Amino acid sequence: MSNALSSSTLRILGIFAHPDDPEFSMGGSAALWADQGHEVYYCIVTDGSAGSNDPNQDLRELVRIREEEQRAAARVLGVREVFFLGYKDGVLEPTLELRRELTRLIRHLKPDRVVCGDPTAFFYGDEYINHADHRAAAEAAVTAVFPSAPTRPIFPELLAEGLEPHQVKELYITADQADHIRSTWTFPPRSNARSKPCAATPVRCRSAMEIGCAIGRQKPAKPPV
Ligand SMILES: [Zn+2]
């Protein structure tokens, strides 16, 4: 990875709780942005070890499979690299430790745009109770974008690692419908910055989702993701 991008090339980082979350949250957008020449990266916060209710499932094998699936799905969409933080799946909290790790990644990668879930979303319609890990990852991601990453006195230990403050220019919050961005925040704020749906590339997006769901999910014992 080079830190020298042309002025028209964006570096974009999607931060999500579980392997396969990026595919249903921003898969079409990731493919579109990669096709446009932008650099797209994912950060997956948990290890995906709660992705099966099968009592005979080897959970270490499940972690390995889901990581492999996530990398394969990312390749289909043109995502350059996937960073795995390895937190335990199902019990994620927006801790200072997680916020520090995300701040470290943001200061290292220097993304122009960060995409994450909605930390305020408890329910999606009357069909889905949002997984608590999704909210926790989103809260930590938003807080890492602002104020942690651009504020010098926050996490001074990162300065000691040579990681200077970084201002993300845009924060995109995903919606409950696949491949749409619900809202956008810019730094500094712009009055017309909100609500920017992104077109999907359906075939590749579907292909990536099939990869992301094919191996690590056993029916009928599949819990909600
Ligand atoms: Zn999930």
pLDDT class for 203, splitting at 50, 70, 90?
low
**Which residues touch 122 (CB under 8 Å, ≥6 apart)?**
129, 130, 135
Q: How far is the CA of 27 from the centre of ligand 1 (A)?
A: 14
Residue 90's region, left for phi above 0, alpha for psi from -120 to 50, else beta, is left
3-state DSSP assignment of residue 170 = strand
Q: How far is the CA of 37 from the centre of ligand 1 (A)?
A: 27
With 60 as the cut, is the pLDDT of residue 80 above it? Answer: yes
CB 52 within 8 A of CB 63: no
pLDDT class for 76, splitting at 50, 70, 90?
very high
With 80 as the cut, is the pLDDT of residue 55 above it? Answer: yes
Cα angle 90, 96, 102 (rounded to 5 degrees) comes to: 80
Q: How far is the CA of 222 from the centre of ligand 1 (A)?
A: 12
Q: How far is the CA of 131 from the centre of ligand 1 (A)?
A: 7
d(CA 168, CA 182): 18
Q: Give me the pLDDT at residue 183, please.
A: 63
d(CA 18, CA 25): 11
Tokens of 18: 């579980």
Which of 188, 107, 146, 134 shows the shortest CA–CA distance to 19? 134
Residue range 128-162, pLDDT digits in tens: 899 999 999 999 999 999 999 999 999 999 999 99
DSSP E strand stretches across 148-213: 170-174, 181-186
Tokens of 90: 């199902």
Higher pLDDT pick, 188 / 202:
188
Exposed / middle / buried, residue 59 (Cβ in 10 Å: 0-12, 13-18, 19+): middle
Q: How far is the CA of 4 from the centre of ligand 1 (A)?
A: 33
Q: How far is the CA of 78 from the centre of ligand 1 (A)?
A: 21
Q: How far is the CA of 8 from the centre of ligand 1 (A)?
A: 32
